[in-house]
Structure 1
C-alpha cells in the first residue's frame, strides 16, 4: 500500500472524478473512499480517465455499519466493486466499530476474511477502532487487520492506539491527517485554534521552505503511518504529494508530537449507533 493517498471524504461527486484524475497524474497511486461517501462511482471514473493502469492504483473503500453482518457485507463488496467498476479491491475495511452492535461487526469482519481468502480483496482492515475494540475483534477473528484508519493529526495523535496497532503489526492510517476538517477549542472561552495555523508547525515549515500541510504529512510518513489528505483543488493535491524531498529532524518530530491535546475532534468511536445512523447504502 502506498503510504500517501488521496482521501475523498466530503468531496462532492461532481468534483471527485477530476480530483482523482489529477491526483493520479501528479503521482498518487492510492485512493481512499467509502460506501458512505456516495462517490465510489466517481472514484472509478477518475481512475479510468487518468489513463493509469488499474493494476497500478491501490483502491481502498469501507463498509458502513448498515451493511454489517456476514451476508450483508458480502453484498456490500458487490455494491462497491460495481460502483468502482473493478473486480477486486486492494483494501476493504469496516468504517466504524459500532460497539453496541458488535456481534454484527464481528460477522462483517468474518465476511471480510472470506473475501480475502477468495481473492476478492487483497487486504482487510478496520477504521475508528479503539484498542479495546481491536481486542474484542481479535477474540473472534483469525486475520489481523492490515490497517486501522483513525483520526490522527498533531492535536490528536492517539499514541495509545498507535502503540496497540503496532503491537499487532497493524498499520495506523490517519484520516484528517492535517486537521483540515475541524477547528479545535483553545484554552480561553471561544478562542479557536486550527492546527494549520499552529506556530510550532509554521516555524518548522519555514525552516524547510515547505507549507504546514507538507510538514504534517511528512511527520506521518517518517513515523511509519499512512496518510490520506483530502483536497479537490489541483494545486493543493500536488502540494500534498510534494513531500519526498526533505526530512524532519528528530527534535522536529518530537516538537510536533508534543502538540497532542489528548482530545478528539471527530465523532466518538464508542458512540452508540442508533437507527438514524444505519442509513441504507444505495445499490447503484
Structure 2
C-alpha cells in the first residue's frame, strides 16, 4: 500500500488543494509555554516542511493569530505556498457579522486572505485520553509512535490532519507520518471506534467551560 498523499483536492473541480498535514495552534497553557511559543512552533513547523497552519481568533483573543502571522513573515516561505485556516467565531454567525470577523482575522494575521471554514460535526471530542493497545502494537511494528500511526491512518482515510504541539521535536515527529500502512493494520485501527463510532470517547468536553454542549446537533446554542 502506497503512503498517504501530500495533499487533498478541495471542491469538485480539484483545482485547489489542501496540504494533508498541518499544525494546530490552539492556545498553549501559559503556565507551561511563555508568550511567543506559538510563533516559535509555527517557525519550527514551516522549517520542517509544514505548509498548512490552523488557527482561530479565539486562540488567545487574537494573540495566536498575531504570532502565526509574525512567524510566516519571518520564515521566508512565500505566502502563496502556505495554507492558513481560521474559523468563524460563534458570536459572528449573523450574515452581516461575517465580514467583521474576517477583517479582524486578517488584521491580526497581517495577511490579505485566508480560506474560511467552520464545520459542525456529529461526534463531539480532544478531556479524556485513551491509548488503545492495538495502536501501540501497530506503532511498534513500524517503529513509529502511536501519534504517527493515527495520523497516517487518518490521512489514509482522506482526512487532512492538524496536530497541535509546542514541542519542537514533537512538531517534526508529527510531520513524519507518510508511510505505508498495511491494509490489515489499517483495518485494526478502523475497528477501534466501532462500526458506527459507538465505542468512541469525547476528548474535549465543552459543557464544563462553555456552559453548554457545543457539539449538540439537536439544539442551536449561542
TM range (shorter): 0.7 to 0.9
8 Å contact from structure 2 (residues 128, 201) kept in 1: no
1:151, distance to aligned residue in structure 2 (A): 5.7
Of structures 1 and 2, the one with the larger relative CO (CA 8 A, separation 6+) is 2
Establish whether residue 86 from structure 1 lines up as the match of residue 111 from structure 2.
Answer: yes
Bigger proportion of residues as helix: 1
Cα separation, partners in 2 of 1:250 and 1:27, compared to 1, 3 Å: same
**Aligned Cα RMSD in Å?**
1.8
Aligned-partner Cα distance in 2 for 1:74–1:182: 33
Task: After TM superposition, list the pairs within 5 Å mapping 1:16-31 onto structure 2.
Answer: 16-31=38-53
Structure 2 counterpart of 1:263: 201
Aligned-partner Cα distance in 1 for 2:72–2:185: 36
8 Å contact from structure 1 (residues 214, 242) kept in 2: yes
1:25-66 deviation per Cα after TM superposition (whole angstroms, max 9, x unaligned): 000000000111121111111111211111100000001111
Structure 2 counterpart of 1:42: 67
8 Å contact from structure 1 (residues 41, 85) kept in 2: yes
8 Å contact from structure 2 (residues 106, 113) kept in 1: yes
Aligned-partner Cα distance in 1 for 2:161–2:52: 10
1:68, distance to aligned residue in structure 2 (A): 1.5
For structure 2, the 5+ residue unaligned runs are: 1-17, 194-198, 207-212
Aligned-partner Cα distance in 2 for 1:7–1:26: 15
8 Å contact from structure 2 (residues 24, 54) kept in 1: yes
Structure 1 counterpart of 2:180: 247
Count of residue pairs the alignment pairs up: 182
Structure 2 counterpart of 1:177: none
1:227, distance to aligned residue in structure 2 (A): 0.8
Normalising by structure 1, we get a TM-score of 0.60
Structure 2 counterpart of 1:216: 150
For structure 1, the 5+ residue unaligned runs are: 95-125, 131-149, 153-180, 185-193, 275-284
1:272, distance to aligned residue in structure 2 (A): 5.6
Bigger proportion of residues as strand: 1
Match of 1:200 among 134, 143, 147: 134
